[in-house]
C-alpha cells in the first residue's frame, strides 16, 4: 500500500525536481556546476527516496527518470567555415619523389622545397570552432562541406580546451584528429571481452563509435584524446609556415604531437623521416597509419592551391598495411579467468609487418559466422592495435571444398562442465568453479603488475606450477616451498630465493592491488582503488551489501552486483580466510575522513610537490572528505600546485579555478575553517 501524497509532499517533490533540473543543466549543458558531485548525488538520493515512498509522484519528466541531461535524437548538421579537405596518398619513395617533382613543376622552380613531416594519426577528423577563444562548436568532417555537430561529445574530452590561452585569435577553426591510445584501446577491449561483449576492431573504430554516441555521458567514459594539425577559417594573424601554425596551436593550449613532427629541408630528408617514423611506429603509444608531408611555407601552399578536393601542397604517405595472407589450420579454445571461452585461430606462421604471427583472435562465434570462416580457409590477418592479431577476411576464391565448419563448443575444453551463454553476451562461459584453465588465468592475473606484482612469477612459471603441483587456489602460491620451486625448469638456488622473497613481499601490497588481483568481474584497477579508499579493508568490502556499494559514486548496478556475488561464493569466502591466515595483510588505507573541511570538494595536485608526496597529499584530501582527481575541469574546486606545474595549472587559471600553494593548502586544512 502506498502512502497518501499530501500537498506538502508534492511541493517538496516539485522543489527537488526543480533543483535537480537546474543543477543538471548547469552540469551537463553549461558544464558549470554550482554544487559538487556529492551534493548533487545527495539531492538525487533524496528524490529517489521520496519516490520510493510515494511512487505516485513519479512522472516521465522527473530527474530520476533521466539521470543526466537528455541524449540527443540525432546530430545537427554543421557547415564548415572552410571545406575540410582530404589528402592524396603516396605509398613509397617513388610516390614522394613524384609529389616533389609535381610541386616544383607547378611552382616553376628547381630549388629545394622545405617540408614539415607529421605523424598521420589513425583516428577521426574533427573541426573545433573557437570564437574569442571559447569552444563553440565541434564537428565531424562529413562530406568535407557539411559535417555533424558533436559539440556535446567533444566537450567531454579533457584534452580539448574549452577556452584557449595566450594570444588566441578572434575566430579560428582548428582541425585535428580524435584518437585513443593503444593501452586504453587494449584495456577497453579486455573489459568488453570480460563482459562478454564483442571487442572493437581497431582504435579508430572505437574512437569513431565513442564520438557518435547520442548520449554524451557515454562518450565521457571513453578515454578520447585529440591532436591538432591544422586550421580552417581564421580571423587573426595568419602563421607564415606550417611549423609556426603548430607552435601557435600549442601556445593556445591545444594538443599537438610535436615530438614526432620533423622539418625536412628537401624531399630526400622527407624520405629519411618516412623511414625513421616507420621504425618508430612500433614504439608509439598511439596508432599511426602513415606520415603527412606538407609544404612548410604557407605562401607556397597558397600558390599551389587545391586540386578538386585535395591540396597540391600535402600528401599522406601511408605505411604498408599490417596485413598478410595465410591459412587457418585449426581452432583452439581459450578459457579466460572469468570463464569466457573464445576461439583462437592457429595459423600457418606468416610475417605481418615485421612480426611473426602464428595465431589470431576470432573473437566469438557470431564473428565466425559473420566472416564465414572455416578450418582450412585462406585468410587475411591484420595487426590492428590489439595485442593479438585478428582474422579480418576469408579469401573464398581459394576454397577447395575440403574446408570444415568451426563447431560451437558445448562444454569447457579444460574441465568439461557445460557452457552457458547469457542472452546479452557474445561468448559462452564455463561455470566450473574448479576449472583448471580459469585457475591458471586467475593466477596469472593475481601475479601480474596491476595485481600483486610478484616479480619473476611470469606466465611461464604459472603454467609449470599448475602442471607440477596440485594447486587448487590462489592461496596455494603462498604455501610454496623452495623444494617445490626446484622442480621448475632452469630454477637455481638464487632464483628460487628471489622468487620466494617476491611472493613474501607481495603480502604487503596496497589493498587496491589485492582487490584488483582477486579478479572480480567488472572491477578494474580504477574501481579497485576506489573500493580500497572507501572500505579500507578486504573484510569490510566483503561484508558490504548491494545498497552500500551502489551508493558509492562511480559504482553502478553491474559492478555492485558482481562484487556481492563474488563475496557470496563459498569458495571465495574460503579464499579470503586462507589469505588472512597466510598473512596477506595489505596496509590499511587511510581512507575514513576524519574531518569535513573538504567535504564534497574536488582537488587536483600538480607539479613536483615539496611539502608532501602525491600520495600523502591525496590522503590529506580524503581525510577531510574531499576527492583527489587527476585532471582539471570546471568542476575542480582547488588546484594545489607545486614547483614546475604546467598545463594543469594553466588550465586551472583559464577556468578560474582557485589555485593554492602547498603551504596554503596545509593552512587551509589545519586552520579549522570550512573553505
- What would you report as the CA-atom Rg of the chain, rounded to the nearest whole angstrom? 29
- Bridge partner list, 290: 120, 318
Which are the contacts of 3, defined by CB distance < 8 A and separation ≥ 6?
53, 54
3-class state of residue 120 by DSSP: strand
Residues touching ligand IVH, count (CB under 6 A) = 15
To ligand IVH, the closest distance from the beta carbon of 631 in angstroms equals 24
Pick the binder of ligand IVH from 16, 17, 87, 340 (CB under 6 A). Answer: 87
Nearer residue to ligand IVH within complex by CB, 125 or 352: 125
Pick the binder of ligand IVH from 113, 121, 128, 256 (CB under 6 A). Answer: 121
To ligand IVH, the closest distance from the beta carbon of 352 in angstroms equals 23
CB atoms within 10 A of CB 310: 15
Which are the contacts of 515, defined by CB distance < 8 A and separation ≥ 6?
523, 528, 531, 532, 538, 541
Based on the shown chain and the rule CB under 6 A, indicate whether residue 234 belongs to the binding site for ligand IVH.
Answer: no
Nearer residue to ligand IVH within complex by CB, 144 or 583: 144
Which are the contacts of 585, defined by CB distance < 8 A and separation ≥ 6?
507, 508
Pick the binder of ligand IVH from 13, 23, 80, 120 (CB under 6 A). Answer: 120
Which 279-318 residues touch ligand IVH, going by CB under 6 A?
A: 292, 311, 314, 316
Based on the shown chain and the rule CB under 6 A, indicate whether residue 440 belongs to the binding site for ligand IVH.
Answer: no
CB atoms within 10 A of CB 108: 6
The CB-nearest residue to ligand IVH is 125
Nearer residue to ligand IVH within complex by CB, 119 or 451: 119
To ligand IVH, the closest distance from the beta carbon of 310 in angstroms equals 7
Nearer residue to ligand IVH within complex by CB, 127 or 345: 127
Contact status, residue 541 vs residue 572, Cβ threshold 8 Å: no
**CA atoms of 664 and 675, how far apart (whole Å):** 12
Nearer residue to ligand IVH within complex by CB, 177 or 476: 177
Nearer residue to ligand IVH within complex by CB, 21 or 318: 318
Based on the shown chain and the rule CB under 6 A, indicate whether residue 150 belongs to the binding site for ligand IVH.
Answer: no
Known catalytic residue: 120? Answer: yes
Q: Determine which one of 34, 104, 120, 197 is catalytic.
A: 120
Based on the shown chain and the rule CB under 6 A, indicate whether residue 246 belongs to the binding site for ligand IVH.
Answer: no
To ligand IVH, the closest distance from the beta carbon of 263 in angstroms equals 14
Pick the binder of ligand IVH from 86, 278, 334, 590 (CB under 6 A). Answer: 86
Half-sphere exposure of 511 (CA within 13 A, CB side): 20
Secondary structure (H, E, C), 551-599? CCCCCCHHHHHHHHHHHHCHHHHHHHHHHHHCCCCCCCCCCCCCCCCCC
CB atoms within 10 A of CB 302: 11
Nearer residue to ligand IVH within complex by CB, 116 or 267: 116
CA angle 388, 392, 397 (to 5 degrees): 140
CA distances from 458 to 445, 446, 455, 461, 499 (A): 10, 11, 7, 6, 10
Based on the shown chain and the rule CB under 6 A, indicate whether residue 260 belongs to the binding site for ligand IVH.
Answer: no
Sheet of 638-641, strands arranged across = 627-629, 602-606, 638-641, 658-660
Based on the shown chain and the rule CB under 6 A, indicate whether residue 230 belongs to the binding site for ligand IVH.
Answer: yes
Based on the shown chain and the rule CB under 6 A, indicate whether residue 209 belongs to the binding site for ligand IVH.
Answer: no
Based on the shown chain and the rule CB under 6 A, indicate whether residue 229 belongs to the binding site for ligand IVH.
Answer: yes
Residues tagged active-site: 120
Contacts to ligand IVH by CB under 6 A: 85-87, 118, 120-121, 125, 141, 177, 229-230, 292, 311, 314, 316
Amino acid at each position: 500500500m502506498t502512502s497518501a501524497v499530501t500537498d506538502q509532499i508534492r511541493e517538496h517533490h516539485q522543489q527537488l525536481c526543480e533543483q535537480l533540473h537546474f543543477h543538471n543543466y548547469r552540469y551537463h549543458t553549461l558544464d558549470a556546476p554550482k554544487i559538487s558531485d556529492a551534493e548533487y548525488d545527495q539531492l538525487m538520493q533524496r528524490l529517489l527516496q521520496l519516490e520510493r515512498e510515494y511512487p505516485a509522484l513519479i512522472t516521465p519528466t522527473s530527474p530520476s527518470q533521466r539521470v543526466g541531461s537528455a541524449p540527443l535524437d540525432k546530430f545537427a548538421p554543421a557547415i564548415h567555415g572552410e571545406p575540410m579537405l582530404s589528402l592524396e596518398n603516396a605509398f613509397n619513395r617513388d610516390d614522394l619523389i613524384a609529389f616533389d617533382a609535381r610541386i616544383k613543376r607547378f611552382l616553376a622552380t628547381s630549388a629545394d622545397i622545405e617540408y614539415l613531416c607529421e605523424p598521420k594519426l589513425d583516428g577521426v577528423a574533427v573541426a573545433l570552432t573557437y570564437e574569442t577563444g571559447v569552444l563553440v562548436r565541434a564537428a565531424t568532417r562529413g562530406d568535407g562541406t557539411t559535417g555533424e555537430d558533436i559539440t556535446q561529445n567533444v566537450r567531454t574530452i579533457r584534452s580539448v580546451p574549452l577556452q584557449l590561452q595566450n594570444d588566441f585569435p578572434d575566430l579560428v577553426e582548428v582541425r585535428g584528429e580524435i584518437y585513443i591510445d593503444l593501452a586504453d584501446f587494449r584495456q577497453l577491449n579486455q573489459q568488453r571481452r570480460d563482459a562478454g561483449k564483442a571487442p572493437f576492431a581497431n582504435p579508430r573504430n572505437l574512437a569513431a563509435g565513442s564520438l557518435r554516441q547520442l548520449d554524451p555521458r557515454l562518450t565521457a567514459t571513453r578515454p578520447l584524446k585529440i591532436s591538432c594539425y591544422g586550421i580552417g577559417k581564421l580571423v587573426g594573424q595568419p602563421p607564415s609556415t606550417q611549423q609556426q601554425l603548430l607552435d601557435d596551436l600549442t601556445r593556445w593550449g591545444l594538443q599537438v604531437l610535436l615530438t614526432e613532427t620533423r622539418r625536412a629541408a628537401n624531399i630526400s630528408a622527407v624520405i629519411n623521416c618516412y623511414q625513421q617514423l616507420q621504425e618508430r611506429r612500433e614504439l608509439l603509444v598511439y596508432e599511426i597509419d602513415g606520415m603527412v608531408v606538407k609544404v612548410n611555407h604557407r605562401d607556397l601552399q597558397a600558390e599551389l592551391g587545391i586540386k578538386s578536393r585535395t591540396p597540391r601542397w600535402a600528401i599522406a604517405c601511408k605505411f604498408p598495411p599490417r596485413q598478410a595472407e595465410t591459412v587457418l589450420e585449426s581452432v583452439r579454445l581459450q578459457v579466460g579467468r572469468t570463464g569466457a571461452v573464445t576461439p583462437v585461430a592457429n595459423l600457418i606462421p606468416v610475417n605481418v609487418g615485421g612480426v611473426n604471427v602464428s595465431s589470431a583472435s576470432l573473437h566469438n562465434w557470431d564473428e565466425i559466422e559473420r566472416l564465414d570462416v572455416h578450418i582450412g580457409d585462406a585468410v587475411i590477418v591484420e595487426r590492428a592495435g590489439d595485442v593479438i592479431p585478428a582474422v579480418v577476411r576469408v579469401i573464398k576464391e581459394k576454397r577447395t571444398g575440403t574446408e570444415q565448419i568451426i563447431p560451437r563448443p558445448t562444454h569447457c575444453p579444460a574441465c568439461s562442465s557445460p557452457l552457458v551463454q547469457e542472452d546479452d553476451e557474445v561468448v559462452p562461459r564455463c561455470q566450473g568453479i574448479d576449472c583448471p584453465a580459469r585457475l591458471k588465468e586467475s593466477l596469472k592475473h593475481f601475479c601480474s603488475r596491476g595485481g600483486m606484482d610478484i616479480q619473476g612469477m611470469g606466465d611461464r612459471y604459472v603454467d609449470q606450477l599448475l602442471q607440477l603441483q596440485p594447486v587448487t587456489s590462489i592461496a596455494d602460491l603462498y604455501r610454496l616451498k623452495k623444494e617445490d620451486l626446484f622442480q621448475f625448469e632452469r630454477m637455481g638456488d638464487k632464483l628460487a630465493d628471489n622468487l620466494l622473497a617476491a611472493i613474501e613481499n607481495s603480502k604487503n601490497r596496497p589493498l587496491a592491488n589485492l582487490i584488483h588481483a582477486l579478479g572480480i568481474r567488472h572491477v578494474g584497477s580504477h574501481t579497485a582503488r576506489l573500493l580500497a579508499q572507501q572500505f579500507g579493508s578486504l573484510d569490510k568490502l566483503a561484508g558490504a551489501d548491494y545498497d552500500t556499494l551502489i551508493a558509492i559514486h562511480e559504482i553502478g548496478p553491474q559492478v555492485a552486483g558482481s562484487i556481492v556475488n563474488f563475496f557470496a561464493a563459498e569458495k571465495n569466502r574460503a579464499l579470503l580466510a586462507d589469505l588472512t591466515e597466510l598473512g596477506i595483510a595489505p596496509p590499511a588505507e587511510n581512507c575514513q575522513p576524519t574531518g569535513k573541511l573538504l567535504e564534497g570538494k574536488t582537488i587536483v595536485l600538480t607539479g613536483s610537490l615539496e611539502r608532501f608526496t602525491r600520495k600523502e597529499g591525496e590522503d590529506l584530501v580524503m581525510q577531510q572528505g574531499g576527492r583527489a582527481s587527476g585532471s582539471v575541469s570546471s568542476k575542480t574546486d582547488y588546484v594545489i600546485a607545486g614547483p614546475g606545474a604546467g598545463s594543469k595549472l594553466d588550465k586551472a587559471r583559464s577556468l578560474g579555478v582557485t589555485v593554492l600553494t602547498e603551504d596554503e593548502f596545509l593552512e587551509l586544512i589545519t586552520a579549522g575553517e570550512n573553505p
